[in-house]
Structure 1
């Protein structure tokens, strides 16, 4: 719910700020999960490990600079998942540094660890997945806005076939193993990179004192 909601909200909010009220009028500029979650997509995520939210309607013709702003609107979705990954990793880092995880019961400790683990893992996978340049993913929209007009027209003509290819990649195990699984294998590298950045910038912070001051 957190990952999908923030992802779609980022699309809707950025489009609204750039002058397109389509998503705003549809009630999508909100952090209420009910406005973004798709029932079937959520069920499949829980059952099959793959799912989706309701796509945000965007009318690029209403932007002052349609291509440039279209790229930003497409990119902020995956970037929101990367931000949630960083927040989850930072939370783990702070909890470990302050010893707060050891202060609670085993049940509380286990629940927090599992939640943060899923938050980090799912969001980094969504970040990678959505940047794949296949329709209807954000990576495809970014490539589409970067492409010269003749290529863009040709991409529009074959978009339906691209979506068919996307479904095959996701739901046919051998194709998924040959394409998506190697990409998702890079998630550990991204997580390690963010962890190193956290250590670089926050290692000298007295987190115990920070938490004490926060609750004072």
Structure 2
């Protein structure tokens, strides 16, 4: 995972070919999962806004997509959600919508590992593309679980914060996140967790292939 991205580097055509499927799939499934769970909870806003689809064109943000390719971090279009349309408590609903994104990335990585182990690895370039997609999706899942606004983790764990902390995060969360990214501190936080999860996927792969 360490070498999947390098900061503000121009990837080669080969690197692009290897990375693009994982990035497009990861961002699309992530945002679709937000939309799906919100819809299941009773909010039809994602459907009316055209986000209840697996079409990448509905979810990808051009600048965020480019940043993900060049810098290793980026974003998709946020799914519009009205928590007051949910059946049940709005904050609980928002936490469920938020956690659906990272969980979908972990699930997608698992599906790719299963596909590779059950024969997909024999297809041309399948290992390079597949294992890169696994690394990308695990990284997206872990990154989005950080409890910092505007990431999903803030909505998942934010309900346990005091209102003062919530207001602070709403005001300064983006600045804190950018600071962590540009100083490299975020790598020291996330790399051990990401490597641990990736090792679990690799272990599953080895067990399946015998």
The TM-score range, normalised by the shorter chain, is 0.7 to 0.9
Give the superposition deviation at 1:157: 4.9
2:20 is aligned to: none
TM-score by length of 1: 0.78
Kept in 1: contact 2:148–2:169 (CA 8 A): no
Give the superposition deviation at 1:52: 0.8
Is 1:37 aligned to 2:63, yes or no? no
1:190 is aligned to: 197
Quick check: which has more Rg, 1 or 2?
A: 1
Q: Quick one: which of 139, 150, 161 aligns to 2:172?
A: 161
Give the superposition deviation at 1:192: 2.2
Quote the RMSD (CA, aligned, Å): 2.1
Kept in 2: contact 1:144–1:152 (CA 8 A): no
Give the superposition deviation at 1:68: 2.1
Residue by residue, what CA displacement relative to the aligned partner does 1:95-121 show, whole Å, maximum 9, x if unpaired?
A: 38xxx62xx6xxx2xx21111021100
Counterpart-to-counterpart distance in 1, 2:209 and 2:199: 15
TM-score by length of 2: 0.80
Q: Which runs of 4+ in 1 moved over 4 A?
A: 197-200
Counterpart-to-counterpart distance in 2, 1:3 and 1:46: 13
Kept in 2: contact 1:5–1:32 (CA 8 A): yes
The alignment partner of 1:27 has SS state of: coil
The alignment partner of 1:185 has SS state of: helix
How many residues align? The count is: 186
Q: Which runs of 5+ in 2 are unaligned?
A: 1-23
Where in structure 2 are the equivalents of 1:1-216 lying within 5 Å? Answer: 1-65=24-88, 66-95=90-119, 101=122, 108=124, 111-147=125-161, 151-152=162-163, 154-170=165-181, 172=182, 175-176=183-184, 178-197=185-204
Q: Larger relative contact order (C-alpha < 8 A, sep ≥ 6)?
A: 2
2:18 is aligned to: none
